[in-house]
Amino acid sequence: MEKNLENYRKSYDKSELKEENLLANPLDFFQKWFNEAEESQLVEEPNAMTISTVGVDGFPKNRVVLLKKIKTEGFVFYTNYESEKGKALAKNPKVCLSFFWPALERQVIIKGEVVKISQQESEDYFNSRPEGSRLGAIVSHQSSPVPNRSYLEEKLEELEEDYKNKEIKKPEYWGGYLVKPFSFEFWQGRPNRLHDRFVYELSKEKKWEEPIRLAP
């Protein structure tokens, strides 16, 4: 089966990105764009980000996860440490994040390395989650084969009964990562495919260098 998509066309003309609009710290500029995505009410999940890892099999893999915190050190997300993603990060902590906000014709690509956050921070977030999400983290041995969906639903029902009037503790294998960035690329769609692209790089002295404009 073939499907020709060559006639898909879109003109990008909603905004522009000029040198004078950039900030010295790319994390501050990311926060500005993130706030604008939130305030626009056009982006359903502005914190949805694609994270790319290199798996233990040597192949890259992308998946969408949710950003849960922006810190001065970087970006925090949560997952199962024993999942395919967790095993990939244990072997190679280098990652690439991508935020795409099509309603604003904007994309941000961030390269960095992950470190685990503290158990206390992970526990605080875990305890803030709805009960169903906490139990789901215990039920699901993420990335492991299961016979069918009924198996998971039955396990959840069992846990709901077991944990009635009991504290639901965070599993040891579940927690957060901090992505510590060393590169930011900001992309703003423009007419005639002459998009605005700027990249920031972290110097050896751990200071952000001046942003560089890239050809689209």
Residue type at position 43: V
Q: Which of 106, 134, 193, 213 is catalytic?
A: 193
Burial of residue 81 (CB within 10 Å: 0-12, 13-18, 19+) is buried
The token duo for 175 is 């927690």
- Nearest to residue 177, comparing CAs of 124, 117, 99? 117
Q: Is 134 among the residues known to form the active site?
A: no
List strand residue ranges (DSSP E) for 23-117, in order.
Answer: 48-54, 60-66, 69-71, 74-80, 94-101, 106-116
Q: By CB neighbour count within 10 A (0-12 exposed, 13-18 middle, 19+ buried), where does 35 fall?
A: exposed
Length, in residues, of the chain: 216
Residues known to be catalytic: 193
